[in-house]
Amino acid sequence: MTQAVTDPNAASTATVFVVDDDPSMRDSLRWLIESIGLNVEAFANADAFMEQFSGDVPGCLVLDVRMPGTSGMELLDSLKARGVELPIIMISGHGDVPMAVQALKHGALDFLEKPFRDQELLEQIGRAIEVDQGRRKQAESVSGIRGRLEKLTPREQEVMELVVAGYANKQVAAKLGLSEKTIEVHRSRVMSKMRAKTLPCLVKMAIAVGVAEATDCAEQDTSTI
C-alpha cells in the first residue's frame, strides 16, 4: 500500500523530479509515478535538471547515481552546497554498500538498487514528499517567528534574551539596571508580541531562530512568568 503524505493538498502541488540517462527507465518511472496522481518532470542528465530547477518547487528527486557527465553523486553534492533541501532518493544498477553509505552520508534520503519493486519506490517517494512538507512548514514557522522578533524594541529583545536564558525577573532587572516592575511590563509585551502563551513556548521560539541555545535553557526558572 502506497504511503500517504501528511497533507494531500500539498502533495497535489508536489513534483517528483527524475534524473536518469536511460530513456526506458525515465519513461517507466514517469508512468509509475503519474499513476498515483503525482506531477513528474524527467531529465536525461544532471545539467538539464540544473538548468530548469528553481530550487523552490516542493517535491523530491529520484536520481540515478551513474550518468555520463555530471554524476548523481556530484549533483547531490552540488545541491547540498547551494543549500537545496529537496529530499533525494538515489537509484543505481551498480549499487553496493560503500556507495549507499556514501550517498546517505552526503544527504540522500534513501538508496535503492535496480531492479527495485515499484511499491518500494512509491513508498519512498511518499516518505520524501512528507519530509519535504515538514521542512517547508518548519521554514514557514521560523520565518513567522523572525518577523515577530523584528517587531520587538531593542529593550524587549534584551529582556527576551535574558528570560529565555533562564533569568528570573529580579535578575533581569539587576542586569539591565531597571526596576522589577518595568521588567514585568517588558516581559508581558514580549510574550504578547511573540504570541507565546507560556515561557517554554517562548524558549522554543528563541531556539528556533538562534536567539538561545538548548543548553542555555536546560534549567528554566518558571517561578515568574
Q: What is the pLDDT of residues 139-192, one digit of tens each?
A: 889 999 999 999 999 999 999 999 999 999 999 999 999 999 999 999 999 999
The predicted structure's pLDDT at residue 219: 46
Judge if pTM exceeds 0.95.
Answer: no
Give the separation between CA 74 and CA 185, rounded to whole angstroms: 54
Q: By the 8 A CB rule, do 113 and 89 touch?
A: no
The predicted structure's pLDDT at residue 223: 41
**What CATH number does the domain containing 106 carry?**
3.40.50.2300
The string of pLDDT tens digits covering residues 92-118 is: 887 677 888 888 998 999 999 988 999
Do the domain assignments include residue 2? no
Helices (H) and strands (E) in the chain, counts: 10, 5
- Give the confidence band of 11 by pLDDT, cuts at 50, 70, 90: low
What's the grid cell of residue 15? 513534483
User: Does the pLDDT of residue 215 top 70, yes or no?
Assistant: no
* Summary mean pLDDT of the chain: 88
Residues 198 and 158 in one domain: yes
The string of pLDDT tens digits covering residues 191-209 is: 999 999 999 999 999 998 8
Residues 126 and 173 in one domain: no
Q: Which among 3, 2, 5 has a CA at the least distance from the CA of 136?
A: 5
User: For the sheet containing 88-92, what is the strand order?
Assistant: 39-43, 15-19, 59-64, 88-92, 110-113
Do the domain assignments include residue 3? no
- Percent over 70 (pLDDT), the chain: 88
Do the domain assignments include residue 45? yes
- Give the confidence band of 132 by pLDDT, cuts at 50, 70, 90: very high
Q: What is the DSSP string of 152-164?
A: S-HHHHHHHHHHH
Instruction: Domain of residue 69: give its range.
Output: 8-143
